Structure 1
Amino acid sequence: MPAMTEPKLISGNANLSLAKSIARRMSMHRGMSVNLVDARIERFNDAEIFVEVFENVRGEDMYIIQPTSNPANDNLMELLIMCDALRRSSADRITAVIPYFGYARQDRRAKARTPITAKLVANMIAEAGVDRVLTLDLHAAQIQGFFDIPVDNLYASPVFALDIEHNFKGQMQDLMVVSPDVGGVARARELAKRINAPLAIVDKRREKAGEIAEMIVIGNVQGKKCIIVDDICDTAGTLCKAAEVLIENGATEVHSYITHGVLSGPAVERVTNSVMKSLVITDSIEATDAVKNCPNIRIVPTAPIFAQAILNIWNGTSVSSLFETDTLVPIYEGMYQRG
């Protein structure tokens, strides 16, 4: 059944540039101006967050664009308070568009007396009044089951496949996809299938938390251009070490495709000085000036896929169609030409 109201976007402070890009893309698709709802999200002197929406949202289909990246707690509270403001203003449906879902790495009890914070956050989001969640490359797919509301988890691999086909044209037969650990094999295999490349694994062993004792490459990378695939790059220690090990094992080049560039602490410096020729990330997390100025970091946009996903949710059509590379070609028109 066709939607009767237009989709309305509202953004917190976590990634305003992405929200504006999504609005621009939706304007192109709709053939009419789509703007962010006018609101103020500010902090009192004691750091309490206050939200005021300046437009009527009664009966509207609302989309809150807010990754819960650093500072995770502030951005999460902004999301919850915006949702409460919209719910109390009689919005009809509220979708939380969370390009990067913070706390996702705390998705299980790895040892005794530890929390499952990803589940706690899921409960808080649902209790705040969110009707649906739209996100990108959850750290663990089963986090979708932590919610008792619908969750649409988009994948970066089709976009990465387009980018690889564009940037490695004529060299596809030399590529090898690499998972930086055993846990990420499914994600790496998915991309390897899309670009018809073989798969290798870097097996890391730790003596204690934060310290890698040994790395072993499973697979023959001799003479290959290796593409490391992962969902999160935080301090980049494991990533840069894996790149070194691949070069030591005969790889000619190492490139990395990581969905969420957390890039905290010494990450940018490590990437700059590493043997990696390039690190490709998405704009799910707003890039710092250091990231933007790093010569071997490149950012691919997610606004096209999020704008289309929002329109599909609004229209009641398939979101899973965006999992296919061919579906994304017209969405990313002009950026990547195949063939």
Structure 2
Amino acid sequence: MIVLNNHTIITEQFPNKETKIKDFDSYILEGNLLEFTYQEDGDLIKLLFVKKRLDQDQVNCKLVINYMPYSRMDRKIYGDLFTLQYICAFINDLNFEKVYVIEPHSAKTIELLHNSEAIYPALDWLPAIMDQMQFTDQDRIVFPDKGAAARYENAGYANSCIFDKTRHPQTGRIENMLLKRGDIPQGAKCIIVDDLCSAGGTFLWAGQILKQMGASEVYLLVTHCEPRVLSGKLLNQDSPINKVYTSTSMMHETHSKIEYITINLENYV
């Protein structure tokens, strides 16, 4: 989905699967902000068409990427292409005035994108969630791995914990998970913080360990959540996760255990 100055660009498809985009003359004069929500690869060609149309009117606009596609392929892995590098090159060639990426998976995205800046809304949401849960010194912020700790650890929150996980090199499945730093007091409320949830295996595993160590409630705060989570076990009634807080950058489906938080772009752009 592409939104130009708060107006959703209307896209259709010809019988032969080619993309048709309705013109948007009247929206161009109202500002210069383009919001891009990736759902499939075809959305990238839509972004190309929209930017080329803006170039015709010499509109130099800013781009907000709600979720950076291919951001997990952020390095060269034997046997696979370094696809993030190519997607960033594609966006660079479109020559946006500025590119904002909401919660990139790693610093590599910002390194590869020209004139780019990362936005971390989870850091703004977390204090309000802690207040809502009446956090005390006995409660804990939990980072499920070193990557999450690197993104959020310097936000100034005391009493945080860090897990270390080991994945199988071929399948990517988690083989082991240990609490490497911090402690979990009996009865503690815990908020796991990360950028992305897919099926939820990492957080299910972490939640089970936290409950075994004495946590009374476990919550998950992720900026991006894939619809795949609905088919996993993370949202089951017997799951250790009480609730998931997330944005609508990747999904909109309702569920009793999901609470959506709005990203107010005016605070960042």
TM-score, normalised via structure 2 length: 0.88
Shift of the 157–58 alpha-carbon distance from structure 1 to 2, 3 Å rule, reads: closer
Distance 1:176 1:123 in 2: 40
Q: 1:300 is matched with which residue?
A: 261
Letter in structure 2 aligned against 1:40: I
Where is the helix percentage greater, Structure 1 or Structure 2? Answer: 1
SS at match of 2:158: coil
Separation (CA, whole Å) in 1 of partners of 2:132 and 2:54: 43
Q: 2:207 aligns with which of 243, 250, 257?
A: 243
Does 1:222 find its partner at 2:177? Answer: no
Distance 1:160 1:102 in 2: 23
Q: Which moved more, 1:127-136 or 1:260-269?
A: 260-269
- The equivalent residue for 2:24 is 54
Aligned to 1:309: 268
Structure 1, unaligned runs of 5 or more? 1-10, 24-34, 311-339
> Is 2:45 aligned against 1:77?
yes
The alpha-carbon distance between structure 1 residues 295 and 198, as it changes in their structure 2 partners (threshold 3 A), is: same
One-letter identity of the residue aligned with 1:64: L
Using the alignment, how far apart are the partners of 1:167 and 1:276 within structure 2? 17
Which residue pairs with 1:136 in the alignment? 102
Q: For residue 94 of structure 1, what is the aligned residue in structure 2?
A: 61
Instruction: Output the CA distance in 2 between the equivalents of 1:134 and 1:66.
Output: 10
Q: 1:263 to 1:202 in 2, by over 3 A?
A: farther
Residues 309 and 265 of structure 1: is their aligned pair in 2 closer, same or farther, counting only changes over 3 Å? Answer: closer
SS in 2 for 1:271: coil
Partner of 1:168: 133
1:212 match: 174
Which secondary structure does the structure 1 equivalent of 2:240 belong to? coil
Is the 8 Å Cα contact of residues 178 and 188 (structure 1) preserved in structure 2? no
Quote the residue 1:189 is aligned against. 153
Show CA shifts across 1:160-204 (max 9, x none): 2232243123x332221111112221224134x2xx331212222
Could you give the per-residue CA deviations for residues 267-294 of structure 1, whole angstroms, max 9, x where no partner exists?
5553234111111112222412xxx1x2
State the 1:57 CA deviation.
6.8
On the 8 A contact 1:233/1:263 being kept in 2, the answer is no
Q: 1:4-19 to 2 correspondence within 5 Å?
A: 12=2
Asked if 1 retains the 8 angstrom alpha-carbon contact of 2:122 and 2:221, the reply is no
Q: What is the RMSD of the two structures over their aligned residues, measured on CA atoms?
A: 2.4
**What count of residue pairs does the alignment treat as equivalent?**
265
Q: Alignment identity in percent?
A: 23
Question: Match for 1:201 among 159, 162, 173?
Answer: 162
Q: Which runs of 5+ in 2 are unaligned?
A: none
Change in Cα spacing, 1:250 to 1:188, as seen in structure 2 (3 Å) is farther
CA 1:252/1:40 → structure 2, altered by over 3 Å: closer, same or farther? closer
Distance 1:182 1:308 in 2: 28
Aligned AA for 2:178?
Answer: I
**Could you say which residue in structure 2 is the equivalent of 1:281?**
246
Distance in 2 separating the partners of 1:124 and 1:84: 13
Distance 2:13 2:235 in 1: 34
- Judged with a 3 Å threshold, the aligned counterparts in structure 2 of structure 1 residues 284 and 113 are, in CA distance, closer, same or farther, namely same
- Corresponding residue number in structure 2 for 1:316: none
Decide which moves more: 240-249 or 261-270: 261-270
Normalised TM-score (structure 1) = 0.71
1:139 aligns to what SS in structure 2?
A: coil
Quote the Cα distance in structure 1 between the aligned partners of 2:117 and 2:174: 34
